[in-house]
Structure 1
Amino acid sequence: MRFLTGVALALVAASPAMADDWDFVLINSTGKPIKTVEVAPSGTTDWKSGLEAEGERRQAVINPGARATVRLDKPAGQCRYDIRATYADASTAVFAGANICDNSYITVKLVGGKPAITAN
């Protein structure tokens, strides 16, 4: 019996943390059309596409002032994410440290030409 209990505990300890399906609304206040959005846990370069699948999206780009739903698999306990926007002109900007656990709406903007976030 001890052997089986030990095996069960070992399997639980070895299992990876489960990811939650998560989403938030991205509001584009950058003044530029955004073509793609990627997200990565803050401080990493593990970028994953965050926009709805191409067939589910209403528009090919997120125009200035428009909103889009960003979907991701969020590991338990991971709340801070960096958001990388690729604009229609192929330039990019990284918006660092968005807390997606406490905020349903993330506004990305450029302040003095530098990426900034407002969240609520």
Structure 2
Amino acid sequence: MRMKLLAGGMLLTLAAPALAENWDFVLVNKTGKTIKMVEVSVAGSGDWKKDKREEDQGPGTIKPGDDYTVHFEKDPKVCKYDVRMTFEGDETPIIWTGFDTCKFAFGDFALNGGTPSVKGT
């Protein structure tokens, strides 16, 4: 009887949906600037979280033209995220809004005349 309860409890644990999961997408730096920090937030929420890879490996930079895998905690009910980048030198953050992580694994993040734009692939 005790084994059946234990096994049943384990099955319930396995069947329970995760509230959040680690996720990633590839950021292609087409901004023409060196990126110092990447943060991700559910679109429109303003609840910024540092890229998890950055937390693990310490500060680094993403040079123009480089690809960088952004690791973040994804809410399974949400597809669109805002991406905020801080650049080396001017320290000014710029926000790209509504990047769809359900549709796109790669994003070409660019600045066109200072205006952020992203093309997902």
TM-score tier after normalising by the smaller chain length: 0.7 to 0.9
Runs of 4+ in 1 over 3 A off after TM superposition: 53-57
Deviation at 1:20, TM superposition (A): 1.5
1:73 maps to 2:104? no
- Distance in structure 1 (CA, Å) of the matches to 2:21 and 2:56: 23
Match in the other structure for 1:95: 96
Structure 1 vs Structure 2 CA RMSD: 2.0
| % same residue | 37
- Distance in structure 1 (CA, Å) of the matches to 2:74 and 2:56: 23
Amino acid at match of 1:83: V
**Mean Cα displacement is larger for which, 47-56 or 59-68?**
47-56
| Contact 1:80–1:98 (8 Å) recurs in 2 | yes
| Contact 1:18–1:76 (8 Å) recurs in 2 | yes
1:24 maps to 2:15? no
Size of the aligned set, in residue pairs, is 105
1 or 2, which has the higher helix percentage?
A: 2
- Distance in structure 2 (CA, Å) of the matches to 1:55 and 1:75: 21
- Distance in structure 2 (CA, Å) of the matches to 1:51 and 1:64: 21
Amino acid at match of 1:114: T
Q: Are residues 64 and 73 of structure 1, via their aligned partners in 2, closer, same or farther at CA, if it must alter by over 3 Å?
A: same
Q: Any idea what SS the aligned residue of 1:31 has?
A: coil
- Please, what TM-score do these two structures have when normalized by structure 2? 0.79
The gaps in structure 2 that reach 5 residues or longer are 1-15
Amino acid at match of 2:50: S
